[in-house]
Amino acid sequence: MSTSATTTSSCNGSPRPGGPTTHRRRVADLMTESEKAPDHIVDGDEDEANCNNGTGCNNVHHHHTPLIRYLLLRRKGACLLEPLILRIEDFVLRLSLKLGRNMGRTIFGALMIMVVMSVFLKFSFMMGSHVEVNGKRRENGLLILQTFKDDWSMAQKVVSDSDVSSGAVMPKRLLEKYTTTEIWMKPNSDEFYQCITRPRNRIRTSSATNGYLLVHANGGLNQMRTGICDMVAVAKIMNATLVLPRLDHESFWTDPSDFKDIFDWKHFIETLKDDIEIVESLPPSYQAVKPLLKAPISWSKASYYRGEMVHLLKQHKVIKFTHTDSRLANNGLAASIQRLRCRANYEALRYTNEIEELGKILVDRLRKDSEPFVALHLRYEKDMLAFTGCSHNLTAEEAEELRVMRYGVKHWKEKEIDSKERRLQGGCPMSPREAALFPQGHGVSFHYDNIHCRGGNLW
């Protein structure tokens, strides 16, 4: 029997004999035109070509069907066994025509088993093979990116889970390898700067004044410090001469210290000399003048002091503000006034040398071994509870004691306060238990971290 001499190319380029009596259709012949299109076959080489062309690699995972994977494998030269199988197949077919139909069926069955085994080996090779490309692993014709960050995060999670389950406490040197919690991170302050510079057109050039301003700072040290900064700004608005402020001696603290005992008063006057005039005391000619006592309205705007207060100052020449806490609005003021407030707080109000030295000693002790620390200000104090009206977890007798104290302070405006509602609004200080849970919730460890607690007598 004669056969034609036509040949077709296989995946490896070797010729394949063919004849009119036997027709073996390739897998590609069973595909539709859309499936034959090159855009349906996307493998790792094409991904690398796109990367090299500058189009970018998006690491898209292409989920191919077994048919497509088979064709990809043939394209890559993975079908190494096909020439041998095709030759055996052609030989068996020729032999079956000579020996008879039954023998041909038997041999054809054996041939099919061999084909199935070869296909199985091909797919096993394709699924199990992987190569390293530039430190990245390629599996199944797909590029799989592996990052150290993901591996480290997974390792941290596994270690932490195992430690929690075992109940063991990790050594501090191991904890330092973990991600730093937010509470210990330094805030990004690259875009921030001090707004304390004095504009040239705001430098005081005249010694003329509308009168003298006496101020009585009230509250704790922080409240008095803020109030003094506000009074410096008020003196500028009113064009008044400020007398060194007097500190509160009658509050809950009953601290006898005065301004000169806490702050460097000469530095205070020198720093603000180009803004306002500050004197140590009233001049002899005004010491006999009885000052007008006035409690400014809380959160007042500059127009309030520039209008009503200036009129009273010119009339009486000496005014004494009995309260300084929150007497000037925070917003709606000129930029020069806001800068003056900041300049008074961060430059003019400097503590005495004795207090500065003591503060450095305390901070150095807290910063031992260059470790971070937390300064926790406890506010669960009797006067604070009475002022806020918070009686959570207190007995009826203790709540009544706070109510009596609240009514005994005249300048506390709120008298009847719903403790439960105030607490829901977030207006109550944390209880001792809450003060312990709050740092722990932010990553502070009571075993390893330095904690400096301050406050009055807890009640």
Rounded to an integer, the average pLDDT of 87-109 is 64
Let me know whether 344 and 258 are in one domain: yes
Angle at CA of residue 457, ends 252 and 436, nearest 5°: 130
Contact assessment for residue 130 and residue 138, using Cβ atoms and an 8 Å cutoff: yes
Let me know whether 322 and 377 are in one domain: no
Full residue range of the structural domain in which residue 409 is found: 373-455
Let me know whether 403 and 283 are in one domain: no
Closest to 44 in 3D by CA, of 181, 140, 170, 125: 140
Is there a domain that residue 268 lies in?
A: yes
Angle at CA of residue 92, ends 87 and 94, nearest 5°: 100
Looking at 322, 354, 386, the residue that finishes a domain is 354
Is there a domain that residue 166 lies in?
A: no
Is there a domain that residue 287 lies in?
A: yes
Is there a domain that residue 43 lies in?
A: no
Let me know whether 316 and 230 are in one domain: yes
Is the pLDDT higher at 137 or at 382? Answer: 382
Lowest average pLDDT, out of 137-141, 293-297, 335-339, 364-368, goes to 137-141
Is there a domain that residue 231 lies in?
A: yes
Q: What does the alpha-carbon distance between residue 14 and residue 7 come to, in Å, rounded to a whole number?
A: 9
Q: What is the pLDDT of residues 174-201, one digit of tens each?
A: 444 445 677 778 788 888 888 888 888 8
Task: Quickly state the pLDDT bin for 80 (edges 50, 70, 90).
Answer: low
Judge whether residue 240 has pLDDT over 50: yes
Is there a domain that residue 278 lies in?
A: yes
Let me know whether 339 and 383 are in one domain: no
Let me know whether 321 and 260 are in one domain: yes
> How many CB atoms are located within 10 Å of the residue 309 CB?
22
Is there a domain that residue 174 lies in?
A: no
Is there a domain that residue 323 lies in?
A: yes
Let me know whether 379 and 334 are in one domain: no
Task: Quickly state the pLDDT bin for 376 (edges 50, 70, 90).
Answer: confident
Is the pLDDT higher at 384 or at 56? Answer: 384
Looking at 319, 354, 389, the residue that finishes a domain is 354
Q: What is the pLDDT of residues 251-265, one digit of tens each?
A: 766 789 999 999 999
> For the chain, what is the domain count?
2
Looking at 298, 322, 354, the residue that finishes a domain is 354
User: What burial letters (b/e) apply to 176-195, b meaning 16+ CB within 10 Å?
Assistant: eeeeeeeeeeeeeeeeeeee
Lowest average pLDDT, out of 229-238, 265-274, 276-285, 411-420, goes to 411-420
Q: What does the alpha-carbon distance between residue 31 and residue 270 come to, in Å, rounded to a whole number?
A: 92
